[in-house]
Structure 1
Amino acid sequence: MSAEPAESRDLEYLTFVDYAVAKTTAELPEVDPVSMRLGLTLHRLSSALVYDWESTVHRPRGWSWGGFRVLFVLWLAGPLEAKRVAQLSGMSRAAVSALVRTLERDGLTSRQQAEHDGRAVVLDLTEAGHRAIADAYAAHNARERAWTSALTEREQTVLIGLLEKLTTSPAATEAKRRF
């Protein structure tokens, strides 16, 4: 927690959290500043991670963050129906459908009608898609290691446990999902 900037024009990306918490709790004293700080920090970290991965690993390969997520799910769990890819990637069916058109055009995925349901589509990686995602994930993981190297292995384990606790909390269970 850093010192609050004197004025909003002095704000930077990281100091905005302190400023936002101070301003919000001054106007709304019932706001829990610790929960607010945690929420803002998690959101900012998530955004920074995705931006870094996408700009350094995925965009140079011609993929969006969503495209990578589809390929990653298919690499590890495929072949799958499109609706399962949507569930496992945390995206809508429409988003997956749009992404698969591009990935298929680029020769990375294939689709075929499901045997059990003529309306369902089964997605899979092509050989080129498998090679591309394996190569991309090696680079992606190098960026993950760069980010997590700020923490000891023990700190990483504790943080994983805490984040998993949040993702299985009653609030997370009740949260609306995209799928």
Structure 2
Amino acid sequence: MSTSSPAKKPVPSKSSTGKRSTKPLAEVLGEKRVAGLRINLDSMALVSNIHRASGFIRDHFERAVLKEADLHWSAFVTLWCLWIYGELETRRLAAEAGVAKSTLSSILNMLEGRKLVRRRANELERRLVIVNLTATGAELISSIFPKFNAEETRIVERLSAKQMQAATDAIRLILATINDLDGPLEGS
């Protein structure tokens, strides 16, 4: 499923309260396409909507919050990981940020050029590289995150506290299942 197709926008909700919304066009078309196949439509709808939501969230946050700091999503996530965990070895940082090591290298080049992060060789194993935030990087992520969280709050405001907790629990369970299937993240 492409997130760049013109049919990616959801069909407007039936209710402004957000209690129930109509199926996105991609979901309706997907169900028609797989009709007659032995497909679990509920699983397909859930995973497809998680994928679509994550793409929309990424695009929205890049426009609404990260643009003013001249950051793209992966650069922000990299800064956030370093802010939360402290210094990290590049393999662990790539896994936590959800990017390939080669992609992380490009991200770090950009962030290092802006003096937001610094890299150094591991003293015990010189082949390994440790990354940490600079004071400028820590200041940037500290100033952006309240705006980021305000936008997080805004995009889930139609959900009740109970719905948010149920969604959070369900997604954590999906992540645990993937972890059981694939093994833990490298470095965790």
Q: What is the TM-score when the length of structure 2 is the normalising length?
A: 0.81
In structure 1, what is the Cα distance between the partners aligned to 2:58 and 2:8? 19
- Residue 176 of structure 1, CA deviation: 8.2
> Normalized per residue, which structure has more helix?
1
Question: What CA deviation, in whole Å up to 9, does each residue of 1:71-124 have, x standing for no partner?
Answer: 001111121111121122122211111111100000101111111111111111
Structure 1 residue 62 corresponds to structure 2 residue 58: no
Q: CA deviation at 1:177?
A: 8.5
Percent identity over the alignment is 22
CA RMSD of aligned residues (A): 2.0
Query: Is contact 1:86–1:93 with CA below 8 Å preserved after alignment?
Result: yes
User: What is the number of residues matched between the two proteins?
Assistant: 167
Gapped runs of 5+ residues in structure 2?
Answer: 1-6, 11-24
Would the aligned equivalents of 1:54 and 1:65 in 2 still touch at CA under 8 Å?
Answer: yes
From 24, 27, 43, the counterpart of 1:17:
27
CA contact (8 A) 2:179 2:185 kept: no
Query: Aligned equivalents of 1:124 and 1:45: distance in 2?
Result: 30
TM-score (norm 1): 0.85
- Please name the residue that 1:47 is paired with: 55
Out of 118, 141, 158, the position equivalent to 1:110 is 118
Determine if contact 2:74/2:107 at 8 Å carries over to the other structure.
yes
Partner of 2:154: 146
Residue 84 of structure 1 aligns with which residue? 92
The equivalent residue for 1:137 is: 145
2-side partners of 1:118 and 1:25: how far apart? Answer: 56
